[in-house]
Amino acid sequence: MGLEYAELLAAQKVNLVLAARRREPMEKLAAELRQKYGVEVVVEPIDLAVPGAAAHLKGSLDDQSLEIDILVNNAGYGLHGDFLDTPLERTSDMIQLNITAVTELSFIFGQDMAARGAGQILLIASILSFQPVPGFSAYAATKSYVLSFGEALHDELRPRGVTVTCLCPGHTETGFDAAASAPVSPVLRFLTMKPRPTAATGLRALAKGKASVLPGFMNNIIVFSNRLTPRSMQRAVMKSVTGG
């Protein structure tokens, strides 16, 4: 998904800072974007799951006199399996990245945006934000945090000139399943969206100043149906669909 955000923003002539763990893939992407769109691209290799990484990134950008106008808070990953069968260290690392790093990045860069009276923050939650999901218990809970946090920030920061939008993708054709060791059921295959339209939906919603957005007609139907069904049924359906 990060590749899609970078491509879409570069196509709008937005200069970029790419922040991720591995330098080589980012340098390759940066060269392609510079050549194709004529934008400036700064590469910042950093593991955002490490405590204090957000402050380190901000310090590095300050040293280069770089201000961030649009923060795409895309870092995160999932874990599939029973909670008690998953090493606690892996769950804690996921929580550090999905919750703590997202919170710290939003705070550190949001402060500058609010002081300038302008800025945009895109947070990435999930369709799993809307109900408990056996098999993805901790991951879904982290994304519920992101959705609640993002929608609250939307109202807090709007009077200060900062737009916060929360994108809630459904199943998307990325490396998520392999990284999470998650099976893909026939239902999920049917519901799978391509990453480009998913990312584009988030950026359009951000530009329009929406608090949150669900990409895809079927994903909207699924979330709407939660209003009509008991939570026990929601858990049973999600367990069946996700292989929990």
How far apart are alpha carbons 220 and 229 in whole angstroms? 15
Q: Are 96 and 54 in contact (CB under 8 A)?
A: no
| Of residues 64, 69, 61, 136, the one with CA closest to residue 98 | 136
- Using CA atoms in the order 20, 78, 170, 106, what is the torsion angle rounded to 10 degrees? -50
CA distances from 157 to 76, 110, 120 (A): 23, 8, 10
Write the secondary structure of 73-104 as one string of H (helix), E (strand) and C (coil).
ECCCCCCCCCHHHCCHHHHHHHHHHHHHHHHH
* Surface-to-core class of residue 19, CB atoms within 10 Å of its CB (0-12 exposed, 13-18 middle, 19+ buried): buried
Tokens of 16: 């970029």
Query: Of 5, 37, 77, 139, which residue is the catalytic one?
Result: 139
Q: Dmax of the chain from CA atoms?
A: 53
User: Which residues 6+ apart lie within 8 Å of 226 measured at CB?
Assistant: 130, 131, 234
Catalytic residue status for 139: yes
Active site residues: 139
